[in-house]
Structure 1
C-alpha cells in the first residue's frame, strides 16, 4: 500500500528547489575537495570535512528521491571532471573559513525556501534536516573563527534606553543637506553586503590568475572591478555615519597560476555569487529608509544583474548550462510538425 507521500506527485516548487540543492551541493563538494587537499591549519580540517560530508549527504538524499520519483538526476559537478588534483593553493585558510561561512548563509536561506515551499511531508522533513545541518555548521565555523580571532562582528551601537518617535521630515531623504545617521537595520544589510562583496572580490582576484580561456579571465576581471566599486560605495555610506568598515581579504589570494578547478566550475561559482548579490541587495533595499541608499541598492541590482546575465551567456555559448526543471512549452508542442 502506497504511503500518502508516495501517492502524491512532487510540485514544480519541490522539483525545482531539489534540483538546485543537488547542483549547488555538487559545487560545494568540488570546492571542499580542493580545500581539503590544500589547507595548512589542522584546526580547520574538521570544518572542511564536515562541510563536504553535509554536501554529499544532501546530494545522496536528493538523488534517492529523484530516482524514486523517476526524475532525471542532474549532472551537476563531478570532482573527477571539475577539480584538478594536486593543484597548488589559490586562497588562504582564512579565506576557506570565510567561504564556508558564506556557504552556510546561502544554505540556511535556500533550505528555508525549500521547507516553506514544500507541500509533501517527506520533503518538508528533508529540508528541516538540511536546515539543521547548515545551522550546526554555521555555529561550528563561527565558534572556530571567534577562537582564532578572525570572525568579523557587525559593529556595536549604543543601546536604546527609551521609546522615541520619528519627528523630522528628512527621515526618508538623503539626497541633499545633512543626512540622518544610519539605522541599525541599515547597517546590518550594508555590512552583510560588504562581507559578501569581499568574498566576491577575492574570488575575482584569484580566478583570473588560473582561468584557461581569455574571455573568461576578462569576465572575472570585470567582476573584480564591479565588486571594488560596490565596496567603495558601501564604505562611503558607512564612513559618513562613522561606522567601521568591513575588513579586506585581498591578502587571501596566493600567486598560483595553476587552476584548482575547471573554467566551467569557476564560472558557475561566480554566477552563484552574482545571484546571491542581487538577492542581498534586494533585502537591503527592502530594509532601508533613506532614499539615497535605496537608489544605491537599485543601481547595484542593475549592475550585478547585467554582470550575471553576461556570465550566463558565456555558459550557454559553451553548452555548460544545465537546463533547470521547466514547464512544457505548449505552443511548441502544438506546432511539433
Structure 2
C-alpha cells in the first residue's frame, strides 16, 4: 500500500459505507446458510456457494481494515445466533435464485455509490473488486435462470425508426382523459418496482408464517398487504398500455411454521426491503414524465417510509437495532464532562 494512503484517515462516508457493507454481507451469509441447507435443485448449489463465499470475503476484508484503523467491528448478524439449524425449507428454489438476483442488483448499485464517495486508494480498489464480484454472481445467476426459463425479461417494444420531438404539453399530463402510452424508460422502472414488490410480498408471506411474536407477525402481514396494493397500482398503469405484467411468486412460500431465522434478522431484512423500495420509487419518479405516475410514486414513498419507520420502532423497543457510525455529539460530551 502507498505510504501516503496509510496516514490518511477514513472519511465519514467511507466508514459508513464499509459499515453498511459489513452489515449487509452478514445478512447474506445468514440467509444463504439456510438456502444451502435446504436447496433441492443441485444445479443451483454452485450459485449459492459462490454467493456466500463472496459475502464472507467482503466481510473479512472490511473487518481487517476496521481492525487496522482501530474502528469497532459491527456486531452485525452471526449465523450461530440468528439462523435456526435444520429448520425446514421456507421458500422455493425459484425464490432463492430471485433473491440472489435482486441482492446482486442492490450490491452493484450500493458498491458503485460507495466507490464514488471514497477518496482513499485502498478503499476505492476494494469497492472496485466488490463491484466485479457482484457482477460475476449476477451474470452467473442470470445465465442459470435463463436456462431454466425463470428469468423475467423487460417487455419488448417496437424499435424507433425515426426522430421525433414533443410538441404538446399533454405529454406530461395523465390526470384526466386519454393518457399517452408509456415510455420505454417508464416501463423499465415500473417493472423493476413490480419485481421488487413481488419479492417483498413473498418474503412477508413467509416470515408472517414463522415469526415468534404476534406483533411482529402482524407487521409482516401488513407488509404483504402493502406490497399487494403497490403491485395492483403498478399493474393498472402497465395494463393501460397493454404491457405484459410480471409473474407472481406466491407459490414460492412453503407451508412451514418453523422459523429459519430469528425475529430480529427477519425484521431487519424487511427494513432493508422497505428502504430499497423508497430508493427505487425515487429513481422511478426521477425518470417519469407523466404527472399521475409521479404522484403514484410519491404515494409509494410515503407509505413505504411509514411502514419502515414502524419496523424500526419495533427493533428499537427490543434493543435490536445496532447504531450506525455517527459524528460526536459535542453538547452531550460537554454535559458528561
Instruction: Report 1:224-263 matches (<5 A).
Output: 224-263=224-263
Normalising to structure 2: TM-score of the pair? 0.99
Residue 116 of structure 1, CA deviation: 0.3
Structure 1: 4+ residue segments shifted above 6 A: none
Using the alignment, how far apart are the partners of 2:71 and 2:334 within structure 1? 24
- 1:277 correspondence with 2:280: no
Instruction: Report 1:99-178 matches (<5 A).
Output: 99-178=99-178
Query: Structure 2, unaligned stretches of length 5 or more?
Result: none
3-state secondary structure, aligned to 2:258: coil
Using the alignment, how far apart are the partners of 1:4 and 1:103 within structure 2? 35
- 1:316 correspondence with 2:316: yes
Instruction: Report 1:23-42 matches (<5 A).
Output: 23-42=23-42
Using the alignment, how far apart are the partners of 2:111 and 2:145 within structure 1? 24
Normalising to structure 1: TM-score of the pair? 0.99
- 1:71 correspondence with 2:83: no
Q: Deviations over 1:226-257 (max 9, x none)?
A: 00000000000000000001110000000000
Q: For residue 86 of structure 1, what is the aligned residue in structure 2?
A: 86
3-state secondary structure, aligned to 2:72: coil
Query: Structure 1, unaligned stretches of length 5 or more?
Result: none
Q: Deviations over 1:126-167 (max 9, x none)?
A: 000000000010000000000000000010000000100112
Residue 169 of structure 1, CA deviation: 2.1
Q: Deviations over 1:161-211 (max 9, x none)?
A: 010011222100000000000000000000000000000000011101000
Using the alignment, how far apart are the partners of 2:218 and 2:5 within structure 1? 49
Using the alignment, how far apart are the partners of 1:123 and 1:204 within structure 2? 35
Using the alignment, how far apart are the partners of 1:31 and 1:242 within structure 2? 37
Residue 330 of structure 1, CA deviation: 1.1
* Count of aligned residue pairs for this structure pair: 337
3-state secondary structure, aligned to 1:335: helix
Give the 3 Å change call, closer, same or farther, for CA 110–2 of structure 1 in structure 2.
closer
Residue 2 of structure 1, CA deviation: 7.5
Q: Which segment drifts farther, 167-176 or 146-155?
A: 167-176
Q: For residue 205 of structure 2, what is the aligned residue in structure 1?
A: 205
Using the alignment, how far apart are the partners of 1:323 and 1:169 within structure 2? 48
Using the alignment, how far apart are the partners of 1:98 and 1:109 within structure 2? 17
Q: For residue 332 of structure 1, what is the aligned residue in structure 2?
A: 332
Using the alignment, how far apart are the partners of 1:335 and 1:29 within structure 2? 41
